[in-house]
Amino acid sequence: MAMSGTPEFDLRIFSYLPNPRIWKATIAARLCGVRLDLRGATPRELSEWLWDFEARPLTEAEREAPQATERQGRTGFSGRLYKTEAFLDAHPFGTVPAAFSPDGRVGIFESNSIMRAVARLGQDRYPVYGTDAYAAARIDSFLDASLVFARDTQLYLLALAKGSLTADLHTRMRDAFGVFVAGIERGLAPDRQFLVGDAITLADICFVAELTLFSNEKAQATRLAEQGLACVFHDDIPTRFPRAFAHYAKLCQHPAFAPDVAPYVDKLERDIARDRHSGR
Ligand SMILES: N[C@@H](CCC(=O)N[C@@H](CS)C(=O)NCC(=O)O)C(=O)O
């Protein structure tokens, strides 16, 4: 796995694509000039890939014969996955996105930590992780609060997709979303331009990624209605949290964000329109 010469990238990331969790790294990389090597495919295709530093599609022969790398998917993947021992040494929780140092020796997992790795690699070019220890710790505070929200989002969206959503989970999601978005709203009061300090930081990037991920709920309105439930992220939410949503809209337009966010949101809007049409 060791590479000779100068690596052509600063960090490799393997994931299913597209994935808002990866944007945390790609947006930070645009801001601070870090070279990423992204590898991956659609979620369905990724179940026929070898999960490794040198991740790749399985060959036809490999797909047909029993593989020592075969494991049962746990979160977001219900079938078989193919993870090498080296992958699990580097990524003990076995999840994607999975980042690696250029020599493949260091695994970095959890999308927030992958984003922090990018920020540290590019800190001399742009202070996306804050300008001092206090700012960095305040950024971490937002990232920790975001991960709590993200975990609830993940459980909720996966249950919704699998048809196993309960009323309790729906209530829990409504409360978690309320706490998260109210915290962002208050964090921007009275008229702060950014969540931490005077420029874009990891806190703003994470906010955009997690809110967009949660927006996927809106394309499931019909499914929710079949269970007598309404969207948690309903149409009145932005007017209740005007600062948070103005901030989101402004960031989505930013040149470091738009290449990731715009195509994803365009497709999501088409999915939402289709769902609304089919639910009539
Ligand atoms: N909090 C993690 C979530 C990562 C995660 O749960 N990834 C799932 C896919 S959504 C996974 O890799 N599952 C692998 C498996 O099921 O074995 C992050 O932000 O990176």
CATH 3.40.30.10 positions along the chain are 11-121
Which strand (E) or helix (H) includes residue 187? helix 167-187
Q: Answer yes or no: is the C-beta of 97 below 6 A from any ligand 1 atom.
A: yes
Distance 109 CA to ligand 1 centre (A): 9
Of the CATH numbers 1.20.1050.10, 3.10.129.10, 3.40.50.970, 3.30.1360.120, which one belongs to the domain with range 133-278? 1.20.1050.10
- For a mutational test of ligand 1's pocket, the pick from 49, 96, 143, 162, i.e. the residue with the most ligand atoms closer than 8 A to its C-beta, is 96
Q: Answer yes or no: is the C-beta of 76 below 6 A from any ligand 1 atom.
A: yes
The CATH code of the domain at 11-121 is: 3.40.30.10
Q: Answer yes or no: is the C-beta of 81 below 6 A from any ligand 1 atom.
A: yes
Instruction: Tell me the per-residue pLDDT of 184-242, one tens digit each, with 9 for 90 and over.
Output: 999 999 999 999 999 999 999 999 999 999 999 999 999 999 999 999 999 999 999 99
pTM of the predicted model, to two decimals?
A: 0.96
Mutual angle of helices 258-278 and 20-32, in 10-degree steps: 160
CATH 1.20.1050.10 positions along the chain are 133-278
Q: Answer yes or no: is the C-beta of 80 below 6 A from any ligand 1 atom.
A: no
What is the band of 120 on the pLDDT scale with cuts at 50, 70, 90?
very high
Q: Answer yes or no: is the C-beta of 75 below 6 A from any ligand 1 atom.
A: yes
Cβ(241)–Cβ(184) below 8 Å: yes
Distance 4 CA to ligand 1 centre (A): 31
Determine the Cα angle at 214 with ends 209 and 217, to 5°: 150
Per-residue burial over 45-81, b = 16 or more CB atoms within 10 Å of its CB, e = otherwise: ebbbbbbbbebeebeeeeeeeeeebeeeeeeebeeeb
Instruction: Tell me the per-residue pLDDT of 33-88, one tens digit each, with 9 for 90 and over.
Output: 999 999 999 999 999 999 999 999 999 999 998 889 999 999 999 999 999 999 99
